[in-house]
Amino acid sequence: MTTTDRSKGDAGGDRDRTIDAALERVRTEPRAHWLAVLVVVPIGLLLAWLHWLGLVVAGALVGFISPTVWHGLAGALGFGVLVLVAFAIGLGDSAWRILEMTPAVYVTVASALGLPALGALFRGVV
């Protein structure tokens, strides 16, 4: 191994330690955590607006910045409620008619709450 290869390896190790330290800070310091939440939630809403798989990714992002798996699940459920509120606001006056469509509403609510929770379980892997 040449000195250039070693320096590249050391730089990668430094980068990993920096990422780990930043992630630990986001998970433990309340101010850094709320700042990360303010960044992750709009990104998650945008991803969920583009495709339903964005709900899973958004849940994973919320879980990833959470200190524990349980906090990640709670955050993902909160995100799911936020998605349902945004969906209802987006419907406007027709929201009441949508609520009368009982089977379809069950799928909508279940996916808005379940898919982010599924993504938040990623926190248990990391």
Per-residue pLDDT of the chain (126 residues; tens, 9 = 90+): 454 554 455 666 788 898 888 888 999 999 999 999 999 999 999 999 999 999 999 999 999 999 999 999 999 999 999 999 998 888 888 777 777 888 888 898 999 999 999 999 988 887
65: part of which helix (H) or strand (E)? none
HSE of 14 in the Cβ direction (CA atoms, 13 Å)? 6
Q: Based on the structure, what is the number of domains in the chain?
A: 1
Helices (H), the chain: 3-28, 30-50, 53-64, 69-91, 95-99, 102-120
The first and second tokens of residue 19, run together, are: 């990422």
The first and second tokens of residue 98, run together, are: 């949508």
Letter for the amino acid at 42?
P
Domain that holds residue 95: 3-124
